[in-house]
């Protein structure tokens, strides 16, 4: 595991070669390791990167959780979607709570942007890294998107 310093605290990144398999909030500070994920996460937090291209592999979880994570990975930068909308996309409109649980178990937060999933009406609810981190990530993306739109 190596650590990437960020405005939301240190992120522990586990990779096998170039492939990211896990990101953890609140890692113990450690020397920064050169890795494509280090570069891309740093660029993301600097507002310079909107699409991660670092390879990742979603491991573990149930079939439903993996389906949720794959949906989350498709959410465009600066956009949000509700838990209910993901449940509907997966063919089970009543599974919003299960989608929330799957989001909480996302093994690669930030890169697989579970912070972009919100409650009905855009309500800020639940996030494995805490609501403060979720808010900061959404604010960063909104700020960058606005800056790009206005030049």
Instruction: Give CA–CA dist 47/58, Å, rounded.
Output: 25
Instruction: Judge whether 4 and 45 are in contact, CB under 8 Å.
Output: no
Question: Strand, helix or coil at 11?
Answer: strand
Query: Catalytic residue numbers?
Result: 114
Rounded to an integer, what is the distance from CA 124 to the centroid of its chain? 15
Question: Strand, helix or coil at 133?
Answer: helix
Q: Which residue reads 């209910």 in tokens?
A: 84
Q: List all residues 6 or more positions away from 142 whose beta carbon is below 8 Å from its beta carbon.
A: 78
Question: Strand, helix or coil at 121?
Answer: helix
């Amino acid at each position: 595991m190596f650590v990437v310093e960020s405005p939301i605290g240190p992120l522990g990144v586990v990779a096998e070669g170039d492939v990211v398999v896990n990101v953890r909030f609140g890692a113990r500070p450690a020397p920064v390791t050169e890795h494509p994920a280090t570069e891309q996460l740093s660029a993301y937090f600097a507002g310079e990167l909107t699409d991660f291209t670092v390879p990742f592999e979603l491991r573990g979880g149930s079939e439903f959780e993996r389906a949720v994570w794959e949906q989350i990975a498709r959410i465009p930068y600066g956009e949000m979607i509700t838990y209910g909308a993901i449940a509907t996309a997966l063919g089970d409109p009543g599974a919003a709570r299960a989608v929330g649980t799957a989001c909480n178990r996302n093994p690669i937060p930030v890169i697989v942007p579970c912070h972009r999933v919100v409650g009905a009406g855009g309500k800020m609810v639940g996030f494995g890294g805490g609501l403060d981190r979720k808010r900061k990530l959404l604010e960063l993306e909104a700020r960058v998107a606005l800056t790009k739109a206005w030049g």
